[in-house]
Amino acid sequence: MKRIISKVRNASGIGFCLAWMLSQGVFAQTYELVIKGAQVIDPANSRNGKMDVAINQGKIAKVAPAITETAAQVIHAEGFYLSPGFIDPHTHVFVGTAAGQFADGINSVSPDDFTFRSGVTTVVDAGTSGWRSFPTFKKQVIDQSKTRILAFLNISGRGMTGAAHEQDLSDMDADSAVALIRRHPDIIAGVKIGHYNGKEWTPFDNALNAARQAGKPLFVECHLPEYSLEDQLARMRPGDIITHTFEHIKERMPVVGENGQVRPFVLEARKKGILFDLGHGGAGFWFDQAVPAVKQGFYPNSFGTDLHRFSMNSAMKDMANVMSKFIAMGFSLEQVVEIATWGTAKAIRHPELGNLRQENPADIVLFRLREGDFGFMDSAGNSIRGNRKLEVELTIRQGKVVWDLNGLAAKKQGF
């Protein structure tokens, strides 16, 4: 710096001084954070190779084979994989104090407690709140959480408050739902229908009408015992989403028939543009459905975990475990990353997420693939073996480290 000052004092003119300083890199760009040497998997941008990633002001600043500019912090990530933060489109996070209840209750979970450690930076709450209760959900959970929380709005005004309330046709008002969505278009990702036990199509049609008016997808949670799977898919539009894809319970026809083949009307629905979410949950994922479907090239568009109080302690566990199951079933790492990132971002119509384009939010996950002998469970208590398991090392949300398993971003101390 003394040498620079001396040259500035001896320069004849401000213009010459500034030109010299620029030529010497005095004003070289500085990044807040650079992650160096990871294997970057960014399917939206056709990236799969060793690269550096720079972050400034919570956004992606640069992705390149080598970033030489200075940085306030450098994370050396050689040997790790790096991808956009995972997106979970099926969760229940309207946590509160009500016993035995999902909406504002203890059956939902606080998102920050479970998301970042599994690489998830964005969740979509699957209809836990309705048009009456969403303001409480927003104030109490969405606005208080570091996790980005979006929502499918339940057509039932009170949301998931128990069987009796979710059968109340008078509370399933499309106009009220649309009015709320228009006040929060960036947070509310669509309209949800589920848990209705009657024969009338009014709830389904009201939800579909609200989604159509709002220009959003319909999210169908298939706890609809009186509606056949074929009839539900026939009513849905391209871009609408049905969840619990590989469920196999007596109350609902599964996607794979008795002959071991994916049913023709399911394939037609996929061809029409209907999207299939995993919806693992506590009872929504069975290997006797998933394995034959995957072998036939039928797989989910998104890895919704159906995160709630019970599923996280059962076969589901977390997003990383769900992705590992599909690797064990033959998916490549790039395939599962694409589904968990860009595929889901497209499904929920948030193209600013799930990719590492410049100026997009710096939501990033670093992970490793552990080699060994691992078991993966389904909802029926069955298991398969796999030799690779995804383990999240570090999660970044809008440029800030929010999960660091082994202190990769911490200051190094010598003792």
Q: Are strands 30-42 and 47-56 parallel, antiparallel or unpaired?
A: antiparallel
Mean pLDDT check: name the lowest of 6-15, 195-204, 367-376: 6-15
Alpha-carbon torsion (103, 106, 112, 117), positive or negative? negative
Question: Side chain identity at 16, as an amino acid letter?
Answer: F
Burial class (CB in 10 A: 0-12, 13-18, 19+), 66: exposed
Mean pLDDT of 6-34: 56
Number of compact structural domains in the chain: 1
Can you tell me the distance from the alpha carbon of 232 to that of 203, in angstroms, rounded to the nearest whole number? 12
Question: With 80 as the cut, is the pLDDT of residue 165 above it?
Answer: no
Q: Is 323 left (phi over 0), alpha (psi -120 to 50) or beta?
A: alpha
Could you tell me how many residues make up the chain? Answer: 415
Q: Is residue 59 part of a domain?
A: no
- Supply φ then ψ for residue 362, to 5 degrees: -80, 75
CA distance 112 to 148: 9
- Cβ neighbours, 10 Å, residue 39: 18
pLDDT of 268 > 80? The answer is: yes
pLDDT surpassing 80 at residue 162: no
- The whole-angstrom separation of Cα 191 and Cα 193 is 7
Tell me the C-alpha distance between 354 and 373, whole Å. 30
> Token pair for residue 122?
């964005």
Task: Tell whether 177 is covered by a domain.
Answer: yes
Alpha-carbon span 357 to 138, nearest angstrom: 28
Question: Is residue 87 a contact partner of residue 354, using CB atoms and an 8 Å limit?
Answer: yes
Task: Fill in the amino acid letter for 202.
Answer: T
Q: Residue 25: is its pLDDT beyond 70?
A: no
Task: Supply the angle between the helices 14-23 and 2-10 in degrees, to the nearest 10.
Answer: 150
Lowest mean pLDDT among 7-21, 88-102, 182-196, 295-309: 7-21
Say how far apart CA 284 and CA 306 lie, in whole Å.
9
Q: In the prediction, which pLDDT does 102 show?
A: 95
Residue 107's closest CA among 309, 317, 312? Answer: 309
What CATH code is carried by the domain that includes residue 228?
3.20.20.140
Distance CA 159, CA 94 (A): 10
- For residue 35, count CB atoms less than 10 angstroms from its CB and return exposed for 0-12, middle for 13-18, buried for 19 or more: buried
Q: How far apart are CA 264 and CA 292, in angstroms?
A: 14
Domain range for 165: 86-347
pLDDT tens, position by position, 236-267 = 999 999 999 999 988 889 999 999 999 999 99
**Does residue 408 lie within any of the structural domains?**
no
Q: What is the DSSP letter of 246?
A: B
Confidence of residue 167 (pLDDT cuts 50, 70, 90): confident
Annotate 259-309 with DSSP letters as a single string. TSSB-HHHHHHHHHT-EEB---TTTSB-HHHHHHHHHTT---SB----BST
Strand duo 81-84 + 364-377: pairing: antiparallel
Q: What are 24's strand-pairing partners?
A: none
Both structure tokens of 250: 């007596």
Mean pLDDT of 265-287: 97
Question: pLDDT over 90 for what percent of the chain?
Answer: 85
pLDDT over 50 (residue 22): no
Please indicate, yes or no, if residue 342 is contained in any of the structural domains.
yes
Domain contains 218: yes
CB atoms within 10 A of CB 239: 17
Instruction: Report the sign of the C-alpha dihedral through residues 139, 141, 146, 152, in that order.
Output: negative
Query: Does residue 176 fall inside a structural domain?
Result: yes
User: Is residue 30 in a domain?
Assistant: no
Which pLDDT value is given to residue 5? 41
The answer as to whether 413 is a domain residue is no
Residue with tokens 């509606």: 227
